[in-house]
């Protein structure tokens, strides 16, 4: 049977795909029999599973490391397709920027991009391997949890264009200082094709340091007067959709984004810069930005049957994205009161207490009447919020207690923000508070989870 694709989850495998037995939270070799029974054309393994139910005729391909083999297959596919490759990394905004870049370039080219946040050592190869034969541009989000991750992804993807959204405290437990984060994200810039270019955030203090990491042309986007693509105006409507103007020597881009939050404007400026430099007209850039679709669980505005607005930004959280969510929530126009369910921001290392306390302290000026805090790491957030005063604070043991607390607080016309690291499962609470459709259910995660 010919192989039609690749899968790392036996439950979602489609007949004809090759199952890749990865070692993550669970050992993929334990599910080889399930994959074969589900119609896998073959299985990529590092050993023969000791499963009496596995047929001795099962089509197994034994390699030293299935993850390395998956990457090698993706590198060969990238070579065969020979597309323009845009790599995107950064501490915050990677997925949003990826979606916006893909939308801009799709106005004139055949584009393939990561689904959701398939941005790690398994997700990026799977993205490349799923690209149609006529793909002209690959737009690839690249995440990292450790130094060296992005170098390995870039070796597979061989990008022409590198975008770094910003440098923040995400995964400080692994990276340490902001300088260490910049060093890890800057690995992308060192791997760019000599004829390519980089796009950096004009307003990020680390941009000058990052620009020194590459020998290709560097363009900047942001509010700075010196930016190559400058954000000249932003207006938010009642549902947080920004109308923006971007000034550049390629022309003026004025459009309204379908994605929510003023923070998305910086992502849009980066995406516009990529498109303009690659020859997309200013009018087509505006059209592309206006038709972009956001990933699930990110600034998803929902309304309950009882008239409560729920802002579900539960995909993940770090200090920068938490602050962006609170800023956006403060801009939501509602006749009633505002409440929040805020969860732990994970992998902050020595910065855990300080970063959570800073969020708790800012609640006193955020117009929030009550906050439910979830997760052991967020205890400092609850403590700081209590000390600041002006907001009712409840530390919930689980989602059930959080739901009961919020349900007791809210009434028609009120609004609730949900934000925390993905491990807390706040998307479940969003579904309970404001039942939605398939588009609002949890997004898939490749391998052992998306990287920041």
C-alpha span between 266 and 190 (Å, rounded): 23
Are 140 and 286 found together in one domain?
Answer: yes
pLDDT at 260: 86
Three-state DSSP class for residue 353: helix
Are 317 and 240 found together in one domain?
Answer: no
CA dihedral sign of residues 384, 390, 396, 400: negative
Are 357 and 378 found together in one domain?
Answer: yes
C-alpha span between 441 and 163 (Å, rounded): 29
Mean pLDDT, range 211-234, rounded to an integer: 97
Are 197 and 285 found together in one domain?
Answer: yes
| Domain count for the chain | 3
Burial of 407: CB neighbours in 10 Å, binned 0-12, 13-18, 19+: middle
Average pLDDT, the chain: 91
Residue 122 in domain: yes
pLDDT at 24: 84
Tokens found for residue 161: 């264009």
How many helices (H) and strands (E) in the chain?
A: 16, 19
Mean pLDDT, range 288-307, rounded to an integer: 86
225 in Cβ contact with 233 (< 8 Å): no
Residue 447 in domain: no
pLDDT band at 439 (very low <50, low <70, confident <90, very high): very low
Residue 452 in domain: no
pLDDT band at 33 (very low <50, low <70, confident <90, very high): very high
Residue 217 in domain: yes
Q: For position 13, which CATH number holds?
A: 3.40.1390.10
Tell me the pLDDT tens digit for each residue of 40-83. 999 999 999 999 999 888 999 999 999 999 999 999 999 999 99
Question: Above 90 in pLDDT, residue 203?
Answer: yes
Are 283 and 384 found together in one domain?
Answer: no
pLDDT at 297: 65
C-alpha span between 48 and 40 (Å, rounded): 16
Are 228 and 153 found together in one domain?
Answer: yes
Residue 343 in domain: yes
When comparing pLDDT for 445 and 252, which is higher?
252
Are 135 and 240 found together in one domain?
Answer: yes
Please tell me the pTM assigned to this model: 0.81
pLDDT band at 146 (very low <50, low <70, confident <90, very high): confident
pLDDT at 157: 98
Nearest 5°: the CA angle 139, 144, 146 is 155
Are 82 and 227 found together in one domain?
Answer: yes
The count of other CB atoms within 10 Å of the CB of residue 4 is 11
Residue 446 in domain: no
pLDDT at 173: 58
Are 9 and 108 found together in one domain?
Answer: no
C-alpha span between 214 and 220 (Å, rounded): 14
Are 103 and 147 found together in one domain?
Answer: yes
Are 54 and 78 found together in one domain?
Answer: no
Task: Decide which of 290, 316, 344 is a domain's last residue.
Answer: 290
Domain residues for the domain of 55 are: 5-64
Task: Decide which of 290, 309, 329 is a domain's last residue.
Answer: 290
Are 163 and 247 found together in one domain?
Answer: yes
pLDDT at 141: 96
C-alpha span between 12 and 22 (Å, rounded): 15
Question: Above 80 in pLDDT, residue 253?
Answer: yes
Mean pLDDT, range 209-221, rounded to an integer: 96
pLDDT at 395: 97
Mean pLDDT, range 240-256, rounded to an integer: 96
- Of 143, 145, 148, 178, which Cα lies nearest the Cα of 319? 178
Q: For position 80, which CATH number holds?
A: 3.40.1190.10
Task: Decide which of 64, 81, 102 is a domain's last residue.
Answer: 64
Tell me the pLDDT tens digit for each residue of 259-273. 888 889 999 999 999
Tell me the pLDDT tens digit for each residue of 314-372. 888 889 889 989 999 998 889 999 999 999 998 888 889 999 999 999 998 878 999 99
78 in Cβ contact with 128 (< 8 Å): yes
Mean pLDDT, range 120-139, rounded to an integer: 97
Residue 85 in domain: yes
Residue 120 in domain: yes
pLDDT at 92: 86
């Amino acid at each position: 049977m010919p192989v039609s694709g690749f899968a790392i989850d036996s439950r979602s495998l489609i007949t004809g795909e090759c199952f890749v037995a990865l070692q993550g939270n669970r050992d993929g070799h334990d599910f080889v029999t399930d994959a074969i029974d589900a119609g896998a054309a073959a299985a990529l393994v590092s050993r023969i599973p000791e499963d009496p139910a596995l047929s001795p005729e099962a089509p197994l391909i034994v390699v030293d490391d299935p993850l390395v083999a998956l990457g090698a297959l993706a590198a060969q596919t990238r070579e065969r397709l020979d597309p323009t490759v845009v790599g995107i990394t950064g501490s915050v905004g990677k997925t949003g920027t990826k979606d916006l870049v893909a939308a801009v370039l799709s106005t004139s080219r055949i584009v393939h991009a990561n689904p959701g946040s398939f941005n790690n050592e398994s997700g990026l190869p799977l993205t490349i391997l799923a690209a149609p034969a006529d793909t002209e541009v690959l737009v690839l989000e690249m995440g990292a949890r450790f130094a060296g991750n992005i170098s390995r992804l870039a070796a597979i993807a061989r990008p022409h264009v590198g975008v770094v959204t910003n440098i923040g405290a995400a995964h400080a437990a692994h990276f340490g200082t902001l300088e260490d984060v910049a060093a890890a994200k800057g690995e992308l810039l060192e791997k760019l094709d000599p004829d390519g270019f980089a796009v950096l955030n004009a307003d990020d203090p680390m941009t000058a340091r990052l620009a020194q990491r590459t020998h290709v042309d560097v363009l900047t986007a942001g509010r700075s007067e010196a930016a190559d693509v400058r954000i000249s105006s932003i207006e938010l409507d009642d549902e947080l959709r920004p109308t923006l103007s971007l000034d550049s020597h390629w022309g003026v881009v004025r459009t309204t984004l379908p994605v929510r939050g003023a923070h998305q404007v910086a992502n849009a400026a980066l995406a516009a810069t990529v498109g303009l430099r690659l020859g997309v007209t200013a009018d087509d850039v505006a059209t592309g930005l206006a038709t972009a679709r956001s990933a699930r669980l990110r600034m998803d505005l929902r309304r309950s049957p009882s008239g409560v607005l729920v802002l579900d930004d539960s995909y993940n959280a770090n200090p920068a994205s938490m602050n962006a969510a609170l800023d956006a929530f403060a801009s939501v126009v509602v006749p009633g009161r505002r409440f929040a369910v805020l969860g732990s921001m994970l992998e902050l290392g020595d910065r855990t207490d300080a970063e959570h306390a800073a969020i708790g302290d800012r609640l006193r000026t955020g117009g929030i009447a009550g906050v439910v805090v979830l997760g052991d790491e967020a205890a400092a957030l609850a403590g700081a919020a209590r000390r600041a005063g002006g907001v009712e604070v409840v530390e919930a043991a689980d989602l059930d207690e959080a739901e009961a607390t919020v349900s007791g607080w809210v009434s028609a016309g009120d609004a609730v923000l949900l934000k925390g690291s993905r491990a807390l499962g706040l998307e479940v609470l969003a579904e309970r508070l404001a039942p939605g459709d398939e588009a609002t259910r949890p997004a898939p995660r490749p391998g052992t989870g998306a990287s920041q």
